[in-house]
Amino acid sequence: MRAKLSSEVRLEGVGKRYGALWAVQGVSLDILPGEFFTLLGPSGCGKTTLLRMIAGFALPDAGRIVVDGQPIDHIPPWQRDVGLVFQHGALWPHLSVKDNVAFGLRERKLPREEIASRVAAALSQVGLEGLEARRPSQLSGGQQQRVALARTLAVQPRLLLLDEPLSSLDAPLRAQMRLELARLQRDLAITTIYVTHDQAEALALSNRVAVLQAGSVIQEGTPEELYRRPRSRFVAEFVGAANLVPAEIVELRETGLLVEFGAGIRLPVPGDPARWRLGSRTLLCLRPEALRLEEAAIGRGMGFVGTVASRVFEGDRHLYELRIGEGTLLRVEMPALGEGRIFRLGDRVRVELNPESAVLLPPE
């Protein structure tokens, strides 16, 4: 079973107001056919409100929503041909798995044979064959979410909308469902809009991601672009762990800049010299896994010296906290596998990095 057609979605200056408060304001996005597009942000940032407007459960107070070239704001939810999966599944507790999946098809008054065929195909897609007679209370949390997904897929919508569908699951099951959801969306080639506050889900699942803050999109791009080249402190901290070190521009070069931080540490970093002025304050963004540690006496790469202030072992990695100079603390993530040395509290170490991994941000 595949989606009938992969649809294109365009949001043009969309806004939603509750009283004097704009929950969503000025959002413009182009979502391509067959794309897995994620709306990422903290609670209250407007991502679920956006999804509800696309589904038709809320009307925009500004702008418009266009699907396949046609404005849909005036179309009621049941005529939009979109499927919505909620955070908690919203299954009918008194109905069997089969009847839950068939519910929307019966509402559409499809022939009995077609309903049976679509229910069987949808349950096969989500791996629930053989559980047709069970009630939701007899299923695990992951199985319940699969039933909710199968119920949505059975009606063959042109858009799939997912509102934090994995947030109520425990971590191992969430990771498993993430893989299954990515496979299913790829196989169906259905345009999918996914809402989450979990940056790991957004990075793992998406073709593109829009990061929202206070109702507005502050950066949009591929997962790699957002992670490697954030444009603000908010994005840098929300999309993965980040060291954000106050620094100063001390030299403008043809191919980049020289910054100074800590106790006189200088580091060349990439950047457009035309965007910065000599003496400007900035934030130097260094991802913990982009840093490497060596003994202070033998380190040879680009870097600087610090002291181990703490270490945490997490099975597959060591998380170090280093003191640089008088007060700067840096987090460094090192793999635990292999024969690398484990550093102890108080050890003097050299922090090495590829300058291309550093990003300069405005000093918010």
Full set of structural domains in the chain with CATH: 9-237 (3.40.50.300), 241-361 (2.40.50.140)
pTM: 0.89
- What is the rounded distance in angstroms from the CA atom of residue 231 to the CA atom of residue 151? 39
Question: How far apart are alpha carbons 101 and 154 in whole angstroms?
Answer: 7
- With beta carbons less than 8 A apart as the criterion, state whether 326 and 319 touch: no
pLDDT digits (tens, 9 = 90+) for 173-199: 788 888 888 888 888 889 999 999 999
* CA-based nearest residue to 226, from 246, 253, 199, 248: 199
Pairing of strands 281-286, 359-361: antiparallel
128: CB partners within 8 A, 6+ apart? 97, 143, 146, 147, 150
* Cross-strand partners of 292: 352
85 near 149, Cβ under 8 Å? yes
Q: What strand order describes the sheet that includes 243-253? A: 265-269, 256-261, 243-253, 281-286, 359-361
Alpha helices (H) along the chain: 47-55, 97-107, 112-125, 141-154, 171-188, 199-205, 223-228, 233-238
* Token pair in block for residue 41: 């942000």
Ranges of residues in the chain whose predicted pLDDT is under 50: 1-3
> Whole-angstrom Cα distance, residue 245 to residue 261?
7
Query: Is 18 in contact with 205 (CB distance < 8 Å)?
Result: no
Burial of 305 (0-12, 13-18, 19+ CB in 10 A): middle
Write down the pLDDT at residue 16.
97
CA gap 14, 35 in Å, rounded: 20
Contact 107, 99 (CB under 8 A): no
Show the CA angle centred on residue 222, arms to residues 216 and 224, nearest 5°: 120
Q: Tell me how crowded residue 87 is: count the other CB atoms within 10 A of its CB.
A: 17
- Are 285 and 230 spatial neighbours (Cβ–Cβ below 8 Å)? yes
Residue ranges with strand state E in the chain: 9-18, 21-31, 36-40, 62-67, 70-71, 82-85, 159-163, 191-196, 208-213, 216-221, 243-253, 256-261, 265-269, 281-286, 291-295, 303-313, 317-324, 328-335, 348-353, 359-361
What values do phi and psi take at 114, rounded to 5?
A: -70, -35
Distance in angstroms (rounded) separating the CA atoms of residues 352 and 294: 8
Report pLDDT digits (tens) over 128-157: 888 888 998 898 888 888 898 889 888 889
Residues in the chain, how many? Answer: 364
What is the Cα–Cα distance from 226 to 133, expressed in whole angstroms? 44
Q: Find the helix packing angle between 97-107 and 112-125, rounded to 10°.
A: 130
The span from the CA of 252 to the CA of 257, in Å, is 5
pLDDT at 109: 87
